[in-house]
Amino acid sequence: MPLSRREFTRQSAFTGAGIALTGTVGALATAPGALAAEDHAGETAPETARDGQGHGHGHEHGPGYGPLLPDPEGILALPAGFSYRILTHSGVTKLESGEFTPAKHDGTATFEGPRGVTLLVNNHELKGPRANHEFPVPLAEGLVYDPAAAGGCTVVEVQRDGRTAEWVGIAGTSQNCAGGRTPWGTWLTCEETADRAGENGMTKDHGYVFEVDPSDRRANRHPMPIKAFGRYEHEAVVIDTKRGHAYLTEDSAAPNGLFYRWVPPVGFQHGRGRLRHIPENAGLLQAPKCYDAGGRFVDDLSRATKTGTVYGVDWVDVPDRDARTVPVRKQFADTEVTRARKLEGMWWADGGAYIVSSYARDESPGLPHDGQVWFYDPRRRTLTLKVLLGVNADPSKDGAYDGPDNITVSPYGGLIIAEDGEGIQHLIGATERGRTYPIARNELNLGTEEEPEYSEFAGVVFSPDGRTLYASIQTPGIMLAITGPWRRSRG
């Protein structure tokens, strides 16, 4: 049953502030150029900095773990007491089959394996023909969707003693960007392309979601797209653990992309491998139509100008989810749905979905920004703006953040955000009370000393036991395991 505009307006007027802002993250801010609902600086408890041995340095500081220290190896700057280890490196490390680790690491999830093993499924965002890439995902027998495509996923096994192994989970897919972990222990990998057979060298249609099982290699044989989720430039997906709905983001423009909901058919039960066998028209694929507390339609999420903004959400059915003649996002007039620029990573926590819009500029009708994180509450059917980053005036200077992409909710509180902006790239932490801090900085310069260039971070996720933070430098493709004195944030 949709939440009517009248009901939402009445509810907002009754509560005064709309909907109570609760959950793991709260209203977040960053500096410089951030827009926040309130200043939480005075609420932060003093902390004592500690080194890797747990000895206090005797000075107080804000949230986080202190300043980032330059890396002599020129890869990753971290706070004192933290360290990293390289697990996979494209063109350097090798798969079990003998081929090199594929390039362009992206979305990642972790899974608990047997006897203390950690399993990671790692996307490789390789678009177009295999000949265009030096290190494509190998065409492992039985695991190939389209032999012309370069992308796919690998599975990385990390033993308790640190030994690693890597093998192909799926091959022959294209531009595997983000995705999402399922409650039943598999990975949904998303193609951020809508190439059809015969386009860009492809022999099959692309723009789908595929399921990869890290624990059962046989389950990955003969890959089949989940066509019920639609064919478009997919970014990420999460599953509502209570209702079984899937939420999906689209990274596209002209017009801006959409945030989708898939409602399963009556009686459908989720489980390993069940999505690949449902009919392509199963359930409903829907797009959002948002309105503010006054009942006014909101055409684009860039209209929000401050954190704490709450929109009511109705859902509109997609006419042709396989986009046989018209791309899905173009099947709606701008007056029918609510769009957003570069809808990126998602994470399911606190009973809802955290959703990233990476930036907005001239292609969006509202306020220019360098990043938003929204929280969709399926019970209240509302979107609440949790993070709003102002435009970063000088991305070449350290200390400013822009372009959030992959995100995860930390077991120590707050969010961890992978930066995919201009200039310097960071892993960013954000506390529950709204303070932000750097966790890592990419020091691998792909450019020159005069014109440095740094790749984005991707695939940020904690190990099942919460002791290790995994993240990747997308280019050339390096997966890192970060350890240190993690603690509950006091911010």
Would residue 339 count as lying in a domain?
no
Would residue 186 count as lying in a domain?
no
- Per-residue pLDDT at 24 exceeds 90: no
User: pLDDT band at residue 28, thresholds of 50, 70 and 90?
Assistant: very low
- Per-residue pLDDT at 47 exceeds 70: no
Per-residue model confidence (pLDDT) at position 231: 98
List the structure tokens of 253. 């423009």
Instruction: Tokens 């015969």: give the residue.
Output: 198
What is the C-alpha to C-alpha distance for residues 348 and 357, in angstroms, rounded to an integer?
16
Per-residue model confidence (pLDDT) at position 61: 54
Would residue 271 count as lying in a domain?
no
- Per-residue pLDDT at 233 exceeds 60: yes
Contact, 407 vs 418, CB < 8 A?
yes
Q: How large is the average pLDDT for residues 375-393? A: 94
Per-residue model confidence (pLDDT) at position 281: 97
Would residue 79 count as lying in a domain?
yes
Per-residue model confidence (pLDDT) at position 348: 98
Closest CA to 334 of 258, 446, 421: 258
Ranges 65-74, 331-340, 426-435: which has the least confidence? 426-435
pLDDT > 70 fraction of the chain, expressed in percent and rounded: 86
* Phi, psi for 331 (deg, rounded to 5): -80, -5
Q: Please tell me which residue, 2 or 95, carries the higher pLDDT value.
A: 95
Q: pLDDT digits over 367-381, tens only?
A: 999 999 999 999 999
Would residue 321 count as lying in a domain?
no
pTM: 0.90
- Per-residue pLDDT at 9 exceeds 60: no
Q: Please tell me which residue, 429 or 1, carries the higher pLDDT value.
A: 429
Would residue 128 count as lying in a domain?
no
Sign of CA dihedral 319, 321, 324, 329: positive
Rg (CA), the chain: 22
Q: How large is the average pLDDT for residues 368-397? A: 93
Per-residue model confidence (pLDDT) at position 74: 97
Per-residue model confidence (pLDDT) at position 11: 56
Per-residue model confidence (pLDDT) at position 3: 56
Per-residue model confidence (pLDDT) at position 33: 32
Ranges 28-37, 163-172, 314-323: which has the least confidence? 28-37
Would residue 36 count as lying in a domain?
yes
Per-residue model confidence (pLDDT) at position 430: 80
- Per-residue pLDDT at 52 exceeds 90: no
Q: pLDDT digits over 446-459, tens only?
A: 999 999 999 999 99
Q: How many domains does the structure of the chain reveal?
A: 1
With 0-12 / 13-18 / 19 or more C-beta atoms within 10 angstroms meaning exposed / middle / buried, residue 218 is exposed
Per-residue model confidence (pLDDT) at position 334: 96
Give the burial string for 75-93 (b: 16+ CB within 10 Å, else e): ebbbbbbbebebbbbbeeb
What does the mean pLDDT of the chain come to? Answer: 89
CA distances from 428 to 359, 388, 411, 420 (A): 16, 14, 15, 11
Would residue 406 count as lying in a domain?
yes
Q: 289 pairs with which residues across the strands?
A: 314
- Per-residue pLDDT at 17 exceeds 50: no
Residue-number span of the structural domain to which 40 is assigned: 31-92+392-491
Q: pLDDT digits over 296-313, tens only?
A: 999 999 999 999 999 999
Q: pLDDT digits over 180-221, tens only?
A: 999 999 999 999 999 999 999 999 999 999 999 999 999 999
Q: pLDDT digits over 59-94, tens only?
A: 345 688 999 999 999 999 999 999 999 999 999 999
Per-residue model confidence (pLDDT) at position 4: 53
